[in-house]
């Protein structure tokens, strides 16, 4: 069934050409007016959005709803399948922290679940089967919505003599809810948590006693209230009274670290670190031993860490070593030393260095574990007697354990040829137990405790698929496809066993390819709804990721960024050559920077694709990278280049920016999503791209834009609401793929 285009009823946005001159070149942006110049206020209060922009986005949503109307029954069917694969009363494996353990559980129907505390026998490590509820996230979400509803009623019935603003009639209560962080105090008596109620990623922090049954916002507010612009992360000092958080500036950039005694008024919050370079973002975390709080200032290529002793929280942060352009490092304490994961001294794949804790500057670092060509060290963790490193070799992860007493090493063996592997961390340092996760495209996620002394493993949990899952019905492959320049691109494939490779199957090709982010070969339940309908599901591990090491990432950024787009197209064409599918039967899917990927590929080879799904796509690359006031622009220059100052960067970005390369031609159906309060990819990027594509469309296929007026970059946050969004996208893909 093909989608009815309804071209005549499609929104036709007014053209208001805005002249832009850079490097002596003048260009015009016909749809720049879709950017509300008061965007900072819109992030915090969406009701302030200009009426003409709101009206246009509403028309787009209505058009998308009308075109997709024949697919809604299929969407509901796919949603029920996805929901049926989730355990209604799922729960995590509790994580031990001294005399207590902490976990999370869903009750039937829960979107967000309940956080729990368990008693622990410290001699046997046995966790009690009973628990107390320390935070009911679903109850808080309901209270938040009711509070928004009450505020809205007050607006709609103002006091006599007052008048409402022009948008108030359209200002419906927001249902968005995201729980950013849940952190218990070291004394196990207090709980700090953070909430985002509009999707802008500005979180409000609350603190409550853990033995309290109070779950509503009003009951939770008395301590540490009015902290409203945090990034969501909360850390505790050793005194169980002082909390630390990161705040955003007026342009939504995390730039300052604050601390405060929870018993003091918020006016007494103290700024302990301020980042003055807008190109660096700030975060805070706890070190492995819990001895320090680590303040990290970083962009995509450079980092700098400052340490605060947790037992002396008002101590001024001490810099480990000053930032040097292009040098990244992380710090991990062990005994009286620090072990440092870094790319210093030309270690492209990263190495581990060592220094005394009292002499931490760069010149005092000495080699400990050298880099191995083609083996990327992704992360390290230190324990009382062990150093653990997660590596990637030949596009697959591995875990290496080093006994710090003997320097003996061993690898944790894995049973399959394509899989995903992760370190789950924990609260304990002096322990032989390492928690890991394992899955493959056909094997549901398993959680193990691995004993680093005895090399034995204990299976703690296997992901349950209530509606049933038979791994033997599916086939996974890891193949390589040769790119146009000879590079070998890894591709992960999943399909029903017995697939006839005659080129007739529709194929969903997923890609990302930026920031070194690598899409793992993990178990995913959602794509089964495509695969069971005859699709091949493919992940292209293209350059710009770190699938084949850090150099793989470097070969897909800055002046080498076109490799990313060419790899994606070459993988698609290669899959056609191998008869997994054929040209015009591939549905390309990507989100955020992956949306830029599929947008660029669409411009380069539109006939390859039967359709495109672009979620919150970063597509107005030239304009965004030329606007230094936007939240992510300065930190992104090391990834894409700075077109404000560099003519070469300007020319290159202009050559691939999806929005700037739309031309008159026949495009396949395109589904684009956006979030009104998205601080990462601002709503006007996908909105502008959609109207420009439609204006240049010479064929009958629809260009659809669906803007979530109540959410940001991550879309809906509830476990079921998020599935509804994905089911909508998959219904689009199935309709196109079977057309």
Q: Domain check: are 287 and 427 in the same one?
A: no
Read off the pLDDT band of 146 (50, 70, 90): confident
Which segment of 49-58, 145-154, 492-501 scores lowest on mean pLDDT?
Answer: 145-154
Tally of domains in the chain: 5
Residues 193 and 306 both lie in one domain: yes
Residue 439 annotated among the catalytic residues of the structure: no
Confidence tier at 150 by pLDDT (50, 70, 90): low
pLDDT tens sequence across 571-599: 999 999 999 999 999 999 999 999 999 99
The first and second tokens of residue 693, run together, are 């594509």
178, 196, 567, 678: the catalytic one is: 678
Order of all β-strands in the sheet with 457-462: 420-423, 433-439, 446-451, 457-462
3 pLDDT tier (thresholds 50, 70, 90):
confident
Which tens digit of pLDDT belongs to each residue from 432-449? 999 999 999 999 999 999
List the catalytic residue out of 592, 620, 660, 717.
592
Considering the chain, what is the average pLDDT of its residues? 92
- Answer yes or no: are the C-beta atoms of 659 and 688 closer than 8 Å: yes
pLDDT at 739: 66
267 — pLDDT class (breaks 50, 70, 90) = confident
Q: What is the dihedral of CA 346, 348, 349, 353, to 10 degrees?
A: 30
* CB 653 within 8 Å of CB 622: yes
The whole domain housing 97 covers 89-160+171-175
Q: Alpha helix locations (H) across 272-342?
A: none
Residue 3 lies in a domain: no
Q: Are residues 423 and 388 in the same domain?
A: yes
pLDDT at 478: 92
pLDDT at 250: 86
Q: How many helices (H) and strands (E) does the chain have?
A: 14, 37
599 shares its domain with 630: yes
Q: Is 678 part of the annotated catalytic residue set? A: yes
Shared-domain flag, residues 309 and 380: no
Structure tokens at 603: 């411009």
Q: What is the CATH number of the domain that holds 236?
A: 2.130.10.120
Does the structure show a pLDDT above 80 at 171? no
pLDDT at 224 over 50: no
Residues 451 and 514 placed together within one structural domain of the fold:
no
| Cβ contact 625:637 at 8 Å | yes
- Of 138-152, 183-197, 503-517, the poorest mean pLDDT is in 138-152
CA 6 to chain centre: 34
Tokens representing residue 444 in the block: 């549901």
Count other C-beta atoms under 10 Å from residue 343's C-beta.
19
Q: Please tell me the predicted confidence (pLDDT) of residue 148.
A: 67
Residues 151 and 135 both lie in one domain: yes
HEC profile of 416-443 = CCCCEEEECCCCCCCCCEEEEEEECCCC
Residue that finishes a domain, picked among 410, 443, 464: 464
- 705 and 561 in one domain? yes
- Residue 62, number of CB atoms within 10 A of its CB: 12
Give the span between the Cα atoms of 257 and 276, in whole angstroms.
Answer: 12
Whether 506 is covered by a domain: the verdict is yes
409 and 528 housed in the same domain: no
- Is residue 592 among the annotated active site residues? yes
5 assigned to some structural domain? no
For residue 157, what pLDDT band results from cuts at 50, 70 and 90?
low
Q: Is residue 731 part of a domain?
A: yes
Q: Is residue 11 part of a domain?
A: no
Same domain, 436 and 552: no
Q: pTM of the predicted model, to two decimals?
A: 0.92
Tell me, what's the pLDDT at 167? Answer: 34
Q: CA 53, CA 71: separation in Å to the nearest integer?
A: 27
**364 and 381, same structural domain?**
no
Q: pLDDT digits over 102-116, tens only?
A: 999 999 999 999 999
Q: Active-site residue among 298, 300, 550, 713?
A: 713
* CB of 56 closer than 8 Å to CB of 11: yes
> Which are the contacts of 35, defined by CB distance < 8 A and separation ≥ 6?
682, 684, 688
Which tens digit of pLDDT belongs to each residue from 326-353? 999 999 999 999 999 999 999 999 999 9
CA dist., res. 728 & res. 76, Å (int): 8
Residue 287 lies in a domain: yes
Torsion from C-alpha of 724, 726, 727, 729, nearest 10 degrees? 130
Residues 248 and 231 in one domain: yes
Point out the domain boundary residue: 420, 446, 464: 464
For residue 93, is pLDDT > 80? yes
């Amino acid at each position: 069934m093909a989608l009815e285009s309804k071209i005549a009823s499609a929104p036709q946005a007014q053209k208001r050409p805005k002249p832009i001159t850079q490097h002596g070149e003048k260009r015009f942006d016909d749809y720049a007016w879709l950017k509300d110049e008061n965007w900072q206020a819109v992030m915090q209060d969406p009701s302030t959005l200009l009426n003409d922009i709101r009206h246009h986005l509403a028309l787009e949503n209505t058009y998308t709803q009308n075109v997709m109307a024949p697919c809604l029954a299929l969407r509901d069917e796919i949603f029920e399948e996805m929901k049926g694969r989730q355990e209604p009363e799922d729960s995590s494996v509790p994580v031990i922290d001294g005399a207590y353990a902490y976990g999370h559980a869903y009750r039937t129907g829960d979107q967000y679940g309940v956080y729990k505390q368990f008693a622990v026998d410290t001699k046997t490590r046995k966790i009690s089967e009973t628990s107390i509820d320390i935070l009911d996230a679903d109850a808080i979400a309901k209270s938040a919505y009711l509070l928004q509803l009450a505020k809205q009623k007050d607006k709609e019935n103002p006091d006599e003599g007052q008048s409402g603003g022009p948008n108030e009639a359209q200002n419906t209560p927001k249902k968005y809810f995201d729980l950013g962080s849940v952190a218990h105090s070291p004394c196990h008596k207090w709980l700090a948590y953070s909430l985002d109620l509009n999707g802008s990623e500005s979180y409000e922090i609350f603190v409550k006693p853990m033995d309290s049954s109070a779950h509503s916002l009003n009951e939770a507010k008395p301590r540490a209230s009015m902290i409203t612009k945090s990034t969501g992360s909360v850390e505790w000092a050793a005194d169980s009274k002082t909390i630390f958080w990161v705040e955003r500036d007026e342009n939504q950039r995390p730039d300052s670290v604050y601390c405060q005694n929870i018993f003091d008024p918020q006016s007494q919050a103290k700024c302990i670190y301020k980042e003055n370079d807008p190109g660096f973002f700030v975060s805070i975390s706890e070190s492995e031993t819990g001895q320090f709080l680590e303040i990290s200032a970083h962009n995509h290529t450079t980092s700098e860490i400052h340490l605060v002793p947790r037992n002396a929280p008002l101590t001024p942060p001490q810099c480990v070593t000053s930032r040097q352009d292009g040098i990244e490092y992380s710090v991990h304490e062990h005994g009286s030393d620090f072990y440092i994961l870094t790319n210093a001294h030309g270690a492209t794949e990263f190495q581990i260095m060592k220094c005394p804790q009292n002499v931490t500057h760069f010149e005092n670092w000495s080699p400990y574990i050298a880099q191995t060509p083609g083996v990327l060290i992704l992360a390290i963790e230190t324990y009382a007697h062990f150093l653990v490193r997660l590596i990637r070799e030949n596009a697959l992860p591995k875990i290496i354990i080093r006994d710090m007493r003997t320097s003996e090493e061993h690898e944790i063996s894995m049973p399959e040829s394509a899989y995903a592997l992760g370190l789950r961390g924990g609260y304990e340092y002096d322990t032989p137990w390492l928690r890991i996760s394992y899955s493959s495209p056909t094997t549901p996620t398993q959680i193990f405790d691995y004993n680093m002394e005895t090399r034995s493993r204990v299976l703690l949990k296997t992901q349950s698929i209530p509606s049933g899952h038979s791994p033997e019905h599916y086939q996974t492959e890891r193949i390589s496809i040769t790119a146009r320049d000879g590079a070998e691109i890894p591709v992960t494939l999943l399909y029903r066993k017995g697939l006839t490779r005659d080129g007739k199957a529709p194929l969903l090709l997923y890609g990302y390819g930026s920031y070194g982010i690598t899409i793992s070969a993990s178990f995913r339940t959602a794509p089964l709804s495509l695969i069971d309908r005859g699709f091949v599901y493919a992940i292209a591990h293209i350059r710009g990721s770190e699938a084949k090491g850090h150099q793989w990432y470097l070969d897909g950024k800055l002046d080498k960024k076109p490799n990313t787009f060419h790899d994606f197209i070459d993988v698609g064409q290669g899959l056609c050559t191998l008869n997994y599918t054929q040209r015009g039967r591939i549905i390309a899917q990507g989100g955020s920077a992956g949306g830029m990927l599929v947008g660029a590929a669409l411009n380069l080879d539109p006939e390859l694709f039967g359709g495109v799904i672009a979620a919150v796509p970063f597509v107005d690359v030239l304009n965004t990278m030329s606007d230094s006031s936007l939240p992510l622009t300065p930190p992104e220059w090391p990834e894409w280049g700075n077109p404000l100052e560099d003519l070469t960067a300007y020319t290159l970005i202009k050559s691939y920016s999806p929005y700037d390369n739309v031309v008159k031609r026949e495009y396949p159906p395109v589904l684009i999503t956006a979030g009104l309060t998205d601080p990462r990819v601002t709503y006007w990027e996908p909105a502008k791209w959609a109207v420009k594509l439609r204006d240049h469309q010479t064929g009958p296929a629809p260009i659809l834009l669906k803007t979530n007026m109540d959410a940001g970059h991550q879309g809906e946050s509830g476990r079921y609401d998020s599935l509804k969004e994905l089911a909508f996208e998959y219904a689009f893909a199935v309709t196109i793929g079977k057309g």
